[in-house]
Amino acid sequence: MADGYVSDPKALRALSHPFRWKLIHLLTDRGASTATFCAEQLGESVASCSYHLNMLAKYGFVEEVQGPGRQKPWRLTDRDQGISAEGLDDEGALAAEAAAMAFFDQEFSQIKERMRRRELEPDEWRRSIATNSTTKFLTADELAEMRAEIVEIFTRYGDRAERPEARPEGARPVRFFLSTSVAPEK
């Protein structure tokens, strides 16, 4: 991983499997979890979850941690993953594209499912759940500055993922999806 971005073509191919993104999201929300727990939550077999967790471990995305008794929970090695095709040959760039598309498919699927369930949430949560879309005219430097400011806000609450004791009562996993793109030049 260079500059926080996954750029190894083999690791990118490992991320191109849609189910692996489901596992990554589950471990992000729930923390260290066994293959059995993952199977129960995702409706897959334990063998399938174990296989995909091992593939993610092979490329350093997850690792086993000591659990109670014979349990072997898995946890993310890094909660922030970025995908980059920069500096890759054509085959590597295609692997990066496949990994990004698998990520987008999982992310959008999760967003749609959570939005469908919005009305089932208590009032205080419904008022805060939203989607926003906007277009601004910015320079590349302004875009980089704005993105850095938004990421800084995200990091204020970063310690709560690994330290449940830092979470205030009633805190739940809240997913933010930030995407910046630029229109092609005319």
pLDDT digits (tens, 9 = 90+) for 114-160: 999 999 999 999 999 988 899 999 999 999 999 999 989 988 998 88
Supply the DSSP symbol for 130.
-
The pTM of the full predicted model, rounded to 2 decimals, is 0.81
CA torsion 166-145-103-1 (nearest 10°) is: -80
Number of domains the chain contains? 1
Instruction: Indicate if the alpha-carbon torsion angle 86, 92, 94, 95 is positive or negative.
Output: negative
Question: Is residue 142, in this structure, part of any structural domain at all?
Answer: no
Q: Is 165 exposed, middle or buried (0-12, 13-18, 19+ CB in 10 A)?
A: exposed
Distance CA 127, CA 140 (A): 33
Question: Is residue 168, in this structure, part of any structural domain at all?
Answer: no
Question: Is residue 19, in this structure, part of any structural domain at all?
Answer: yes
| pLDDT for 4 | 64
Question: Is residue 134, in this structure, part of any structural domain at all?
Answer: no
Between helices 18-30 and 35-42, what is the axis angle to 10°? 110
Domain that holds residue 77: 5-121
Along the chain (186 residues), what's the average pLDDT of each consecutive run of 10 residues?
A: 71 94 92 94 96 96 85 87 84 93 93 92 92 92 94 88 88 87 86
**Residue 102's CATH number:** 1.10.10.10
Question: Is residue 108, in this structure, part of any structural domain at all?
Answer: yes
